[in-house]
Amino acid sequence: MFLSLRTEAEEALTEALSALSLPTGDLGLEEPPEDVGAILASSVAFRLAGEVGKAPPEVAGELAETIDVADYDYLASVGTQGPYVNFHASDAYYEKTLEAAREDSYGRLEPTGREVVVEHTSANPTGPVHVGRARNPIIGDSIARLLDFAGNDVDRHYYVNDAGRQMAVFTWAYETFDESELPEPDREKADYELVRYYRKGNAVLEDGDEEEVEAAEAEIASIMQGLENGDEDAYERVERVVDTVLGGMRESLSRLPAEFDEFVKETRFIRDGSVDDLVTRLKGLDEAVYEEDAWQLDLPDFEKNLVFLRSDGTSLYTTRDLAHHEWKFEEYDHAVTVLGEDHKLQATQLAAALDLLGNDTDQLDSVFYSYVNLPEGKMSTRAGTGVDLDDLLDEAVARAREEVEVRMDDRIRNDDLSEDDIDRIARQVGIGAVRYDIVSKQPSKAITFEWDRALNFEAQSAPYVQYVHARTCGILSEAQRASENRAAEPRDGEADREPGTVDPALLDSPEERDLIEVIGRFPAVIESAAEDRQPHQIATYTRDFAETFNAFYRERQVLTDDEALTAARLALVAASRHTIANALSVLGVEAPESM
RNA sequence: GGGCACGUAGCUCAGUCCGGAUAGAGCGUCGGACUUCUAAUCCGACGGCCGUGGGUUCGAAUCCCAUCGUGCCCGCCA
């Protein structure tokens, strides 16, 4: 509804400007500060003052007078405050907003018909997911949810780097070492068990004796050649390692939760011949050069050449990724990729090469995030430094459980949480807190991981917002219980009133109006966040929402003796519940019904 | 050396793309509110040369230039 209101304000302003023969290029429409009563405002008068030769407040006044709100449904009045033109919403606006938000799916935008692929995580399957990379699945999954909620048809892809040197090293190590030479795994889980081979292998390559290293390198090279030649045996050897490790990683990721529609292996593009075709096309480009036995692309605007075929004839990651992207462009209208900031240059080169190959690179969007570091430095799978995602999530749930138990004693609400409830709440709150902490920040900002900060359950965290949802559920179930009691002893006149009818005019206090306004903004927030691929905007909104709801909760008793008033406020609470539940769902944070 | 990000209260962050109303939150500190629809909540106080210097503008945290600090990248790795 806010979107319609904004459209009306735009129209009204444009018409008024035209009527006064003023330019309509920049309407200066904005959301005014909280203490200004208006729902929308324009600062256009500032810019026109010079042109008209009058002071801004005077221009604002003329504009306000020119607009006739009778022409619009959602504008009640247009006033001025100094140089600002302020728009006030009509009763119809509040009524329609409340009506729209009665739907469970409130906030979901109309289908766009666009098919979008969101590729995220795509970590090499070398071992357990650690916190340094955990930003990727959380941001990626939230973007996927956001684009879906904004009306797109979304697929989530994990691009599996199974043809690179790292996997050849891993395969060699797995086949070479005996488990008896390895330390105990940190967990009884495939990725934890296998990463021991990978670490051992890398240690040997680094410090082993010359002969051993030489033999290993020969084996690694033969595996890579085998993959490049489409050798079925090499493929199966690597696949066994890849699929096993990936299986373990998937389990961890699903806890976030981050699920995928498809795991796309890069060997696929070697095996189906598309890499060969691509190499042929690349060689044919004017920018292609053959230097030092390797085929390269002399990209304009880039200092160094991009090698796309090694001197031994094998392809490189970027070569295969080019084929991968052309495939995505064929299958989807739009492709979004979530990448670590260290891939920025590579991503720009990829786009430049795709452009040379005749693709429309507007179809591609990259979102970059900066890695999470430990206070003592970087996390690395190979070196075994870092905090595993599983450990972080376990710790989060354990701490949340402690909180639940501490709070049990001074709970007012007498609803006897069962052991299952405690488990559920601990999981929802603990994992929600981790996820929310990450998704609520701009991806470009650096994060240093600290236990206490990541697991803070206080305000501006998931539990703060989840609590609001639990409150709405508590009120609604209380109302349900009361109405069932009444139904048991029917009173005269009770049947006259439709249970579903509410009179929104009763919701006229500032707290109620503010709450409806915040609810009304939700679809616009979804639209903007989806447009910018910025799920953190939704997190910021949930905090605003929670604050506004809490003010309403503090000042206005919902369940009263006044039935009509109670019905109206219950409708507002239900609308609030849908809004906050959907916002949390876009963030991938669970919405507990009690906590 | 070159390129790209980031720098806002003691700490963690919104706001920056698209310039507008006294720069907003939370944590921490101090002081208040549970016999109530859930206190994981709420109310109040304290706290800011928006890294620094210039410029553009009626107006700059926001745009431009310079500069400092931090991170990332500049491989026939991924």
Distance from chain centroid for Cα A312: 41
> Which pLDDT belongs to residue A502?
85
Q: Is the CB of A234 under 7 A from strand B?
A: no
d(CA A228, C1' B44) / Å = 69
Q: Give the pLDDT score at A388.
A: 92
Residue A442 domain-assigned (yes or no): yes
Q: Is the CB of A553 under 7 A from strand B?
A: yes
- Residue A129 domain-assigned? no
Structural domains of chain A, count: 3
Do A511 and A404 share a structural domain?
yes
Q: Is residue A318 part of a domain?
A: no
Per the domain annotation, does A170 fall within a domain? yes
pLDDT the model gives residue A324: 97
Residue A334 lies in a domain: no
Q: How far apart are CA A264 and CA A95, in angstroms?
A: 48
Can you give the CATH number for the domain in which A44 is found? 3.30.1360.70
Q: Are residues A71 and A172 in the same domain?
A: no
pLDDT at A377: 75
**Would you say the C-beta of A574 is within 7 Å of strand B?**
no
User: In the prediction, which pLDDT does A495 show?
Assistant: 41
Q: Would you say residue A580 lies in a domain?
A: yes
Query: What are the DSSP calls for A341-391, one per residue?
Result: GGGHHHHHHHHHHHHHTT--GGGEEEEEEPPEEBTTB--BTTTTBS-BHHH
User: At A334, which helix (H) or strand (E)?
Assistant: strand A334-340
Domain shared by A43 and A182, yes or no: no
Residue A296 covered by a domain: no
Residue A93, sorted as left (phi over 0), alpha (psi -120 to 50) or beta, turns out to be: alpha
Residue A56: nearest nucleotide (C-alpha to C1'): B58
Instruction: Quote the domain boundaries for residue A49.
Output: 2-89
Q: If you search the block for the tokens 């600002």, which residue do you land on?
A: A84
Does residue A186 share a domain with residue A39? no
Does residue A316 lie within 7 Å of nucleic acid chain B, judged by its CB? yes
Nucleic acid strand B within 7 Å of A82 CB: yes
Residue A127 placed within a domain: no
Give the DSSP per-residue string, A156-192.
Answer: EEEEE--SSHHHHHHHHHHHHS-GGGSPPPSSSSHHH
Chain A span 464-483 residues with beta carbon within 7 Å of strand B: 464, 467, 470-471, 473-475, 478
Residue closest to A173 by CA, chosen among A219, A206, A225: A219
Q: Do A63 and A167 belong to one domain? A: no
Residue nearest to nucleotide B37 (CA to C1'): A475
Chain A 407-426 residues whose Cβ is under 7 Å from strand B:
407, 410-413, 425
Residue type, A500: G
CATH code assigned at A442 = 1.10.730.10
- pLDDT tens string, chain A, 595 residues long: the values are 899 999 999 999 999 999 999 988 889 999 998 888 899 999 999 999 888 888 999 999 999 999 999 999 999 999 999 999 999 999 999 999 999 999 999 999 999 999 999 999 999 999 999 988 899 999 999 999 999 999 999 999 999 999 988 999 999 999 999 999 999 999 999 999 999 999 999 999 988 888 999 999 999 999 999 998 889 999 999 999 999 999 999 999 999 999 999 999 999 999 999 999 999 999 999 999 999 999 999 998 888 899 999 998 889 999 999 999 999 999 999 999 999 999 999 999 999 999 999 999 999 999 999 988 877 778 888 877 788 999 999 999 999 999 888 887 766 665 677 889 899 999 999 999 999 999 999 999 988 888 877 777 877 899 999 999 999 999 999 898 877 776 665 444 444 444 557 899 999 999 999 999 999 999 999 999 999 999 999 999 999 999 999 999 999 999 998 989 999 999 999 999 999 999 999 999 999 999 8
Among A258, A273, A290, the domain-final residue is A258
Which residue, of A258, A282, A304, is where some domain finishes? A258
Strand A40-42 and strand A84-89: the pairing is antiparallel
Tokens of A346: 């590579």
